[in-house]
Chain A
């Protein structure tokens, strides 16, 4: 998991000019809080390996400990540069904590720091993932019929149960997906531990990415059914 050769391996303290490790929060030489550079990621910031299984209690503990180190409350009387650094580090910490405590956001974030994020939000929404073709076909047929029923003035109890039934296989698909993401997450974590080669890593990440796209698509389908039910 070494960074590309061109990436910086040190940050520089703006206060005294000393070099500090990328994941350091305070300068090892002058002990001042370091201003936030552009490098690093949420995992490294919290001192965590880039893994998908996170122990919630451990994450909470790290979050509290780091908050106690650089919350703006404790820099009220400090120099302006330190106050700014404390605000930047606290904001980044809060963003990191919020992202990593949510399992779905965590996968999305891993994909983005590994350069595998879906290119745009539309990518997920417009293209039907191959694995879902059958379900989407059935659902669209059902939706068309329901709309026709409603247009002809049919009462709610004539079409609502049909929508509810149509939702079931999609819900099942979503549950199956969650299980697959769990399985792939465990695989990924094992690869991190065994320092697996790049190709193997890419393979798992690509599978994860496909699951994420499918999951997003499924969520859109479910939201569509929900809208139809409530309109």
Chain B
């Protein structure tokens, strides 16, 4: 039986987890790292790099590297015009954003699929190493922000399909987190989950009783997160750097190097009161003053979610923090002030969502009934009516799956088709809401105007994704529905992308070998540099090394370092071996000395 996994497909980082002997665990690489940066490079030769390697390439090959792609899922080109200036890649397209990397273009689901395939591969390697008979991973639960609309959810499901995964279920990130938290304690009570990630913000309020995790309300902003904090800091850095030079006109690789340093400073200011950034001291107070408007933007959705659940802050029993941005002290203080409670953060806020997704995947395949997740639809669903007004059919915060239906008729004699425009959102006017799709109902039996009674049934499934069926009630004839999604890929496009992705598989294999060679080279370089810097090195060089040995080591080291970012794997391996050989004697000498040091002063009987 192939394995199932839970995947947190994040804006900044992605993770994969599974349930091992009843408990969820994150799958890590050999260095213990569970995070795969959501960064993808497709270099000029078409080779794909994902994760840490792509993150490195962002500094040297920014024009071929995509990050924060989750912000573009389910969006059209017009939605993202204002954002293009913050990214090294081109943004174009129409109903679906296209991301330009060099000469190639990809949709956000395709870029996301590269990340998913990396996670799938990581999981399969893990299961193979554990000696599983069938280590293949072909099914997954994938998480999305609770406030994702239908188009964004569908785009996520498409990404799974392109990656060759059957998406068992799309679940909401805060709800997944609550599942992970509910595991060790038998909770009863009301929980608020505050989830501020790299690019999205969610608040969900749940009631937990008898193992049922019932979402009462949810709210959020799918365009608010750590990315926005980075941008504020970048703009400020540019402001004080040079006159008349802004973050909009820039040299890409320099910009990315600065961005990396800005993120470092941001993270450090969560740990201490001040840090230095580009030769200047930044205090935590200064950062807090800068980002206060962003933190305050999260409080409105929190209050709305409380109101929708008909609860006062004091009725919340526990508050849970999710997402890397909740490490920021100002965020914690603001959440604590709003709910009047110290928030929980026992579980790693970066990992808790993937753990919950793994639990849900396990529930689906094993039929384990200890826990049940009842989620809601975050946005009201409706249709366009006369005068450009939206008429709501399924209200926000309705438990899913949910249905709604509406009767339609004809305006002309013998009219056989009706157009229906489906929307999502809370506003009165059509133009202020999100267009989901336009449907054409066909095959209505010819009748005088106003006589047909076409019942259109809207079904939101447990993934929060909409499907539509229609039936003419007088004749009981099922109608065919032609769907034109407003923002999204057609089934044919997704199929084609799946086919295309196989072509990448070969190139990916080569890329993997190169990455492995590079990692090995880095390990040897680091070990050598450490030896050369060791306090006792001078003494060793004088007493134990042959004439010229030190120079040979330094030459081999320099050669390998020079090659590190080149793409020739065999040369890289050869030079790694050379450095290994050059340092072999030195390593032995140092090992001997440390063994002697450890044994010094101990008698044989102590051993």
User: Which A positions have Cβ atoms within 8 angstroms of B?
Assistant: 60, 64, 67-68, 71-74, 76-77, 87, 90-92, 94-95, 97-98
Q: Give the Cβ gap from B413 to chain A, nearest Cβ, in Å.
A: 24
Q: Give the Cβ gap from A229 to chain B, nearest Cβ, in Å.
A: 18
Interface-centre pick from A64, A77, A91, A97 (highest chain B CB count, 10 A) = A91
In contact, A98 and B367 (Cβ under 8 angstroms)? no
Given A73-B363, A74-B367: A68 in contact with B462 (beta carbons within 8 A): no
Given A68-B369, A76-B364, A77-B367: A95 in contact with B212 (beta carbons within 8 A): no
4 extra interface residue pairs, beta carbon distance < 8 Å, beyond A72-B462, A74-B367, A95-B403: A68-B369, A68-B372, A91-B403, A98-B399
B529 sits at the interface (CB 8 A): no
CB-CB nearest in chain A for B404: A95
Given A64-B209, A64-B210, A87-B459: A74 in contact with B402 (beta carbons within 8 A): no
Please list the 8 inter-chain residue pairs (A to B) with the smallest Cβ-Cβ separation, ordered nearest first.
A94-B399, A91-B401, A91-B403, A76-B364, A64-B212, A72-B462, A90-B401, A94-B402
In contact, B212 and A76 (Cβ under 8 angstroms)? no
Type the 1/0 row for B365-400, where 1 means its CB is closer than 8 Å to any CB of A.
Answer: 101010011100000000000000000000000111
In contact, A95 and B402 (Cβ under 8 angstroms)? yes
B94 sits at the interface (CB 8 A): no
Assembled-state Cα–Cα distance A73/B362 (Å)? 10
Q: Give the Cβ gap from A38 to chain B, nearest Cβ, in Å.
A: 11
Q: Give the Cβ gap from A6 to chain B, nearest Cβ, in Å.
A: 19
Residues of B within 8 A of A94 (CB): 398-402
CB-CB nearest in chain A for B209: A64
27 A–B contacts, CB within 8 A, in A order: A60-B209, A64-B212, A64-B214, A67-B372, A67-B374, A68-B372, A72-B462, A73-B169, A73-B360, A73-B373, A74-B367, A74-B369, A76-B364, A76-B367, A87-B401, A87-B461, A90-B462, A91-B401, A91-B403, A91-B459, A92-B403, A94-B398, A94-B401, A95-B402, A95-B403, A97-B399, A98-B399
Q: Give the Cβ gap from B395 to chain A, nearest Cβ, in Å.
A: 8
Q: Give the Cβ gap from A15 to chain B, nearest Cβ, in Å.
A: 19
B168 sits at the interface (CB 8 A): yes
Q: Give the Cβ gap from B253 to chain A, nearest Cβ, in Å.
A: 47
CB-CB nearest in chain B for A65: B210
Q: Give the Cβ gap from B367 to chain A, nearest Cβ, in Å.
A: 6
| In-complex Cβ contact of A72 among B210, B398, B402, B461 (8 A) | B461
Residues of B within 8 A of A90 (CB): 401, 462
CB-CB nearest in chain B for A87: B401
Residues of A within 8 A of B398 (CB): 94, 98
Given A64-B212, A64-B214, A67-B374: A73 in contact with B364 (beta carbons within 8 A): yes
Interface-centre pick from B212, B360, B400, B461 (highest chain A CB count, 10 A) = B212
Assembled-state Cα–Cα distance A137/B369 (Å)? 60
Q: Give the Cβ gap from A92 to chain B, nearest Cβ, in Å.
A: 7
Interface-centre pick from B209, B400, B462 (highest chain A CB count, 10 A) = B462
In contact, B372 and A71 (Cβ under 8 angstroms)? yes
CB-CB nearest in chain B for A78: B367
Residues of A within 8 A of B169 (CB): 73
Q: Give the Cβ gap from B311 to chain A, nearest Cβ, in Å.
A: 14
Assembled-state Cα–Cα distance A167/B333 (Å)? 41
Residues of A within 8 A of B403 (CB): 91-92, 95
Residues of B within 8 A of A76 (CB): 168, 364-365, 367
Q: Give the Cβ gap from B355 to chain A, nearest Cβ, in Å.
A: 18
Residues of B within 8 A of A92 (CB): 403
Q: Give the Cβ gap from B428 to chain A, nearest Cβ, in Å.
A: 12
In contact, A72 and B401 (Cβ under 8 angstroms)? yes
Residues of A within 8 A of B209 (CB): 60, 64
Interface-centre pick from A72, A73, A95, A98 (highest chain B CB count, 10 A) = A73
Residues of B within 8 A of A73 (CB): 169, 360, 363-364, 372-373, 462
CB-CB nearest in chain A for B403: A91
In the complex, chain B residues 537-562 whose Cβ is within 8 Å of any chain A Cβ: none
Assembled-state Cα–Cα distance A72/B464 (Å)? 13
In the complex, chain B residues 204-241 whose Cβ is within 8 Å of any chain A Cβ: 209-210, 212, 214
Residues of B within 8 A of A91 (CB): 401-403, 459
Q: Give the Cβ gap from A99 to chain B, nearest Cβ, in Å.
A: 11
Residues of A within 8 A of B367 (CB): 74, 76-77
CB-CB nearest in chain A for B168: A76
Assembled-state Cα–Cα distance A87/B214 (Å)? 17
In the complex, chain B residues 183-220 whose Cβ is within 8 Å of any chain A Cβ: 209-210, 212, 214
Assembled-state Cα–Cα distance A64/B211 (Å)? 9
Residues of A within 8 A of B365 (CB): 76-77
Residues of A within 8 A of B364 (CB): 73, 76
Assembled-state Cα–Cα distance A76/B366 (Å)? 9
Q: Give the Cβ gap from B377 to chain A, nearest Cβ, in Å.
A: 10
Assembled-state Cα–Cα distance A91/B405 (Å)? 12
Q: Give the Cβ gap from A21 to chain B, nearest Cβ, in Å.
A: 23
Residues of A within 8 A of B401 (CB): 72, 87, 90-91, 94
Assembled-state Cα–Cα distance A172/B359 (Å)? 52
Assembled-state Cα–Cα distance A89/B227 (Å)? 42
CB-CB nearest in chain A for B399: A94
Assembled-state Cα–Cα distance A90/B209 (Å)? 19
Assembled-state Cα–Cα distance A149/B401 (Å)? 51
Assembled-state Cα–Cα distance A74/B374 (Å)? 13
Assembled-state Cα–Cα distance A64/B209 (Å)? 9
In the complex, chain B residues 122-180 whose Cβ is within 8 Å of any chain A Cβ: 168-169
Assembled-state Cα–Cα distance A67/B375 (Å)? 12
Q: Give the Cβ gap from B348 to chain A, nearest Cβ, in Å.
A: 26
Q: Give the Cβ gap from A119 to chain B, nearest Cβ, in Å.
A: 14
CB-CB nearest in chain B for A98: B398
Interface-centre pick from B169, B399, B461 (highest chain A CB count, 10 A) = B399
Residues of B within 8 A of A87 (CB): 401, 459, 461-462
